[in-house]
């Protein structure tokens, strides 16, 4: 027994060290897997310098800056600017701090799948090491990754809330979930919508009670500074677009968001497709409604390659064939997938809706969903994991993610 445990510890340590070393090598070589991470970092650095020199003016005119990221991380980094701390020190601190995302993802998996093999759960958590977005934004600091970090911790406390039997402790974990999600939203406002998911879950448990109203009140109090900043001062920084089209109705076109984000969801669900059967089966009485919705979406779809972004399937369709036909085909498959996920239960339906609504701006970038979708699939979605959480099956995820990483490096 001792020998077996030592072997498992050795295997875990070896895999972690190999993946961690690859990230450190990426740091040394200034890896820029996403392509724009370096430029984004130095753009944000210049804004941090403005905060350092003139805090109030930069804060009040933040929507005039060329970024739609939250000002919070830039404000924090402005303190580093005041003390002229070397960039490499800032970046290495950032890299090691964000490794805690993997830890809390693993702890979340252990809570949800307490009857499954720990080594399998450990392997899933380490998939973040080969996420192009996690690697790039660990090496080049970005507020999106900090939003994800605190979002993962909020999920961790939510899963404890679900499992906890002691009522006092249960309520404490609900409050901790609320607090961490609020912090996540201040770093990356896209995550604020998931408050709806958690509040509905808390309502289902507490019903109309003082506990539920207290959670709602804390949500309101914590969000007040952001609401004041955005709606009273009218600093709509998250609508900043790289394209003039972002100022038109195109930015809010639901057809664009449904087809593009659905195709990205399908992409990240691909490893599951090798394991899960019958995912594309559709009941005959639903196919007409699905087809009608899909045709309407195609008719109103007006996203252009010049807007940048769009996701890997959209880009491939335009690069290979100079049209959207391949993209439409996979988007239709994606709609079938999403319909089946939604019909499984209301939680899945709500999560899909929030994922689609979580991108209010024009450009829809693949990096917004990497590795967020992987984390949400395994922690919040209701899926059949009995066949997925086997060591041999998990390597399908590793092969898929590794090929995606190589493709990003080579592009």
Q: Position of tokens 């974990």?
A: 173
Same domain, 181 and 227: yes
For the chain, the domain total comes to: 2
pLDDT for position 280: 63
- The answer to whether 257 and 366 are in contact (CB under 8 A) is no
Asked if residue 377 is part of any domain, the answer here is no
Same domain, 249 and 231: no
Q: Which residue among 340, 362, 384 closes a domain?
A: 362
Number of other residues whose CB lies within 10 A of the CB of residue 392: 7
Helix %, strand %, coil % of the chain (to 5): 80, 0, 20
Q: What is the mean pLDDT of residues 87-102?
A: 95
Asked if residue 191 is part of any domain, the answer here is yes
Same domain, 166 and 53: yes
Same domain, 112 and 93: yes
Asked if residue 396 is part of any domain, the answer here is no
DSSP annotation of 117 reads: -
Same domain, 152 and 257: no
Same domain, 167 and 66: yes
DSSP assignments along 337-393, one per residue: HHHHHHHH-HHHHHHHHHHHHT--SS---GGGGTTHHHHHHHHTS----TTTSSHHH
Residue 361: name the closest of 260, 253, 233 by CA. 253
Same domain, 145 and 128: yes
pLDDT tens profile 211-226: 999 999 999 999 998 8
Sequence-distant (6+) residues with CB within 8 A of 112 are 159, 378, 379
Query: Is pLDDT above 70 for 142?
Result: yes
Q: What is the mean pLDDT of residues 17-25?
A: 96
Residue, of 257 and 410, whose pLDDT is higher: 257
Q: How far is CA 119 from CA 23, 115, 182, 221, 391, in A?
A: 21, 12, 32, 41, 8
Domain that holds residue 132: 2-240
Q: Which residue among 240, 265, 285 closes a domain?
A: 240
Asked if residue 83 is part of any domain, the answer here is yes
- What SS3 state is found at 242? coil
Same domain, 97 and 145: yes
Q: Which residue among 345, 362, 379 closes a domain?
A: 362
Same domain, 147 and 273: no
Asked if residue 367 is part of any domain, the answer here is no
The end-to-end CA distance of the chain, in Å, is 47
Same domain, 227 and 262: no
DSSP assignments along 377-408, one per residue: HHHTS----TTTSSHHHHHHHHHHHHHHHHHH
Considering only CA atoms, give the Rg of the chain.
Answer: 22
Same domain, 275 and 214: no
Q: Position of tokens 């922690």?
A: 379
DSSP annotation of 230 reads: I
Same domain, 33 and 120: yes
pLDDT for position 35: 85
Residue 161: name the closest of 41, 153, 311, 223 by CA. 153
Asked if residue 256 is part of any domain, the answer here is yes
pTM: 0.93
Predicted confidence band of residue 241 (pLDDT cuts 50, 70, 90): low
């Amino acid at each position: 027994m001792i020998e077996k445990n030592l072997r498992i510890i050795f295997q875990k340590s070896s895999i972690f060290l190999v993946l961690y070393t690859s990230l450190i090598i990426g740091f040394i070589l200034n890896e820029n897997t996403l392509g724009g991470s370096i430029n984004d970092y130095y753009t944000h650095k210049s804004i941090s310098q403005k905060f350092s020199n003139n805090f109030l003016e930069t804060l009040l005119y933040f929507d005039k800056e060329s970024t739609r990221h939250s000002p919070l991380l830039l404000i924090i980094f402005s303190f580093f600017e005041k003390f002229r701390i070397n960039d490499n020190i800032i970046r290495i601190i950032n890299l090691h701090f964000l490794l805690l995302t993997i830890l809390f993802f693993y702890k979340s998996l252990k809570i949800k799948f307490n009857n499954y093999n720990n080594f399998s759960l450990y392997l899933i958590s380490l998939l973040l090491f080969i996420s192009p977005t996690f690697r790039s934004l660990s090496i080049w600091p970005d507020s999106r990754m900090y939003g994800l970090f605190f979002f993962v911790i909020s999920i961790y406390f939510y899963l404890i809330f679900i499992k906890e039997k002691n009522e006092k402790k249960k309520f404490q974990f609900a409050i901790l979930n609320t607090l961490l999600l609020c912090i996540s939203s201040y770093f990356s406002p896209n995550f604020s919508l998931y408050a709806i998911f958690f509040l509905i879950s808390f309502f289902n448990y507490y019903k109309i009670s003082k506990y539920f109203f207290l959670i709602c009140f804390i949500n309101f109090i914590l969000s007040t500074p952001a609401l004041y900043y955005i709606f009273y001062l009218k600093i709509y920084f998250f609508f900043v677009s790289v394209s003039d089209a972002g100022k038109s109705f195109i930015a809010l076109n639901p057809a664009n968001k449904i087809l593009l984000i659905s195709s990205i969801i399908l992409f990240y669900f691909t490893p599951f497709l090798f394991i899960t059967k019958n995912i594309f089966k559709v009941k005959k009485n639903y196919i007409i409604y699905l087809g009608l919705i899909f045709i309407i979406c195609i008719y109103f779809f007006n996203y252009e390659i010049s807007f940048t972004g769009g996701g890997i399937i959209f880009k491939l369709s335009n690069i290979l064939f100079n049209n959207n036909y391949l993209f439409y085909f996979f988007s239709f498959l994606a709609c079938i997938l999403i319909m089946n996920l939604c019909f499984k239960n209301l939680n899945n339906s709500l999560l899909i809706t929030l994922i689609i609504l979580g991108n209010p701006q024009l450009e829809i970038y693949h990096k917004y969903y990497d590795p967020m979708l992987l984390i949400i699939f395994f922690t919040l979605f209701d899926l059949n994991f009995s066949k997925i959480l086997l060591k041999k099956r998990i390597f399908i995820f590793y092969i898929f993610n590794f090929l995606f990483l190589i493709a990003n490096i080579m592009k």
